[in-house]
Amino acid sequence: MIVVYQEQLILLCMKMIEDILTKKDLTRQDLILLLQAKGDDRRKLFERSSQVKKEVVGNKAYFRGLIEFSNICSKDCLYCGIRKSNEKVFRYEATDEEILEACDFAYRNRFASVVLQSGELSSPAFTKRVASLLKQIKKLSDNGLGITLSCGEQTRETYALWRESGAHRYLLRIESSDPGLYYKIHPQDERHSFEKRLEALSLLRETGYQVGTGVMIGLPFQTMESLVNDLVFFKEQDIDMCGMGPYIEHEDTPLYKYRGELMPKQERFDLTLNMIASLRLLMPDINMVAATALQAIDPAGREKALAVGANVIMPNLTPCEYRKEYQLYEDKPCLDEDAELCRNCLEARVELAGSEIGYGEWGDSKHYFTRMGL
C-alpha cells in the first residue's frame, strides 16, 4: 500500500517538473521546486535549460579577460577577503603599462572583451585614471576590445564619464536582494547602504550600460525563499547580465565565524547550478557568467555551469604577482597560471564541455538589444 503511494508521489513530482519546464511564466512556487530539484528532476531541469540556452543565445561561450587591477578598497563587506579592515592583505595597484599589456594579450588572442575589476574607490584621481585607461584600451585595440567595468558604486557623473570613455557593460552584484540578509552580510552604515546599491543599478541603466548584477549562494542566514526572491528581483530589474557564484568563507573576515552553520560546499555548488539553470528559463536571453568561485569547489565547475545555462567565462589576465592578493575567498583557482596557461587550459575545458568559444566576438547581451528596441 505504502509502496504504491510513494510511486504515485514520485509520478506526481515528475509530472510537476515537466509541467513547470514547459511553462512560459514561472511562479515563485515553481522556482522553489526548480531550486530544490534533485536526481531525475534535476537532470530534466538541466536538459531544458541547456536546450533553451542553445535556442536563444546559442552554444558559444564568450571570453572576458579579467584584470583585477587594484585591491585597494574602501568597503568592509563582511564576507570579502580584500575588505578594508583586512590588514593581512598587501595592497597593490597595477601600473597602466601592466594593465595595457594584459589588454593587448586579450586582443591578440581574440578574447574580444576585457573586464576591469577593482576594489571600490571613489576619488577624482581614481575616476580620472579609469577614464584614461578606457581610452587607451580602445586606442590600442582600434576600438576592437569590448570593456566591462566592475568598480563598485559611483556617482552618475562617474558612470557617464566611463561610459563615454569606452566602457559599455558594468557589473555590480546586489549580493542579496533581501535587505534583511544584505545587512547581515554588510556593516550597517552609510557606506554599505542597500538603497544606494539599488540606486547605483538604476544609474547604470540610465547612463546606457548593459547592466549585470548577481548574488552569492549559500550565505549564512540565506533561505530558499530569499534565493527565489533574488531570481524575481533579476526579472523585475530587467537585467542584461548575471553573475552568481557560491559563497566561500574566508578566514580573515567576520562572517567566518558562521562557517559551522553553512551548507556543505558541494551543496552550495549544486544549488548554484540550479540557480543558473532556473534563471536561464526565467530570462532566456541574458548573458550569464560561469563564476570563477565555482571552480574553487569543483575543478570542472565553470564548465558545468556552461553546460546548464551560462554563456560567458572570464579567463584571469591579472599579472601573476598580484593574484594572491586578490583572494576574495579561499581556494581561489588559477593563482599561478599566467595568461597563456589560463587561455590554453580554458580553451580545452570549454571545448570538452561541448561549447564553442566565441573568439573575436563581443557576445553582448541579447536582452540589452531587445529592451533597447535595437
| 82 sits near ligand FES (criterion: CB under 6 A) | yes
Show the site string, 321-360: x = touches ligand 5AD by CB under 6 A, - = not. Answer: -------xx-------------------------------
Out of 65, 119, 212, 245, the only residue in the binding site for ligand 5AD (CB under 6 A) is 245
| 219 sits near ligand 5AD (criterion: CB under 6 A) | no
Stretch that binds ligand FES, among 4-12, 78-86, 223-231, 317-325 (CB under 6 A): 78-86
Total binding residues for ligand 5AD by CB under 6 A? 12
Total binding residues for ligand FES by CB under 6 A? 6
CB of 113 closer than 8 Å to CB of 148: yes
CB of 3 to ligand 5AD, least distance (A): 44
Out of 42, 53, 64, 75, the only residue in the binding site for ligand FES (CB under 6 A) is 75
- CA-nearest of 93, 47, 88, 52 to 70 is 93
Find all residues with CB under 8 Å of 67, minimum gap 6, and list them: 94, 99, 102, 103, 114, 115, 116, 117, 317, 318
Show the site string, 158-177: x = touches ligand 5AD by CB under 6 A, - = not. Answer: ---------------x-x--
* Contact of residue 73 among ligand FES, ligand 5AD, none (CB under 5-8 Å per partner type): ligand FES
Closer to ligand 5AD by CB, 33 or 242: give it. 242
Of residues 75 through 104, those in contact with ligand 5AD by CB under 6 A are: 79-80
Q: What is the dihedral of CA 335, 246, 244, 257, to 10 degrees?
A: -100
Angle at 16 between CA 12 and CA 21, to 5 degrees: 150
- CA-nearest of 289, 242, 249 to 268 is 249
Out of 26, 94, 99, 248, the only residue in the binding site for ligand 5AD (CB under 6 A) is 248
CB of 251 to ligand 5AD, least distance (A): 10
The type of residue at 291 is A
Closer to ligand 5AD by CB, 40 or 251: give it. 251
Show the site string, 271-310: x = touches ligand 5AD by CB under 6 A, - = not. Answer: ----------------------x-----------------
* CB count in 10 Å sphere of residue 231: 24
Find all residues with CB under 8 Å of 15, minimum gap 6, and list them: none
* Contact of residue 247 among ligand FES, ligand 5AD, none (CB under 5-8 Å per partner type): ligand 5AD
Q: Which three cell numbers stand for residue 119?
A: 576594489
Give the phi and the psi of residue 138 in degrees, each rounded to 5.
-60, -40
Closer to ligand 5AD by CB, 50 or 295: give it. 295
Please, what sign has the CA dihedral across residues 135, 136, 137, 140? Answer: positive
CA distance 102 to 157: 27
Closer to ligand FES by CB, 42 or 83: give it. 83
Closer to ligand FES by CB, 80 or 248: give it. 80
CA distance 205 to 203: 5
Find all residues with CB under 8 Å of 106, minimum gap 6, and list them: 63, 65, 112, 113, 114, 145, 317
Task: Give the containing element (helix H, strand E) for 364.
Answer: none
Please, what sign has the CA dihedral across residues 4, 5, 6, 12? Answer: positive
CB of 359 closer than 8 Å to CB of 64: no
Out of 73, 255, 276, 339, the only residue in the binding site for ligand FES (CB under 6 A) is 73
| 83 sits near ligand FES (criterion: CB under 6 A) | yes
Site residues (vs ligand 5AD, CB under 6 A): 79-80, 173, 175, 216, 245, 247-248, 250, 293, 328-329
Task: Write out the residues near ligand FES by the rule CB under 6 A.
Answer: 73, 75, 77, 80, 82-83
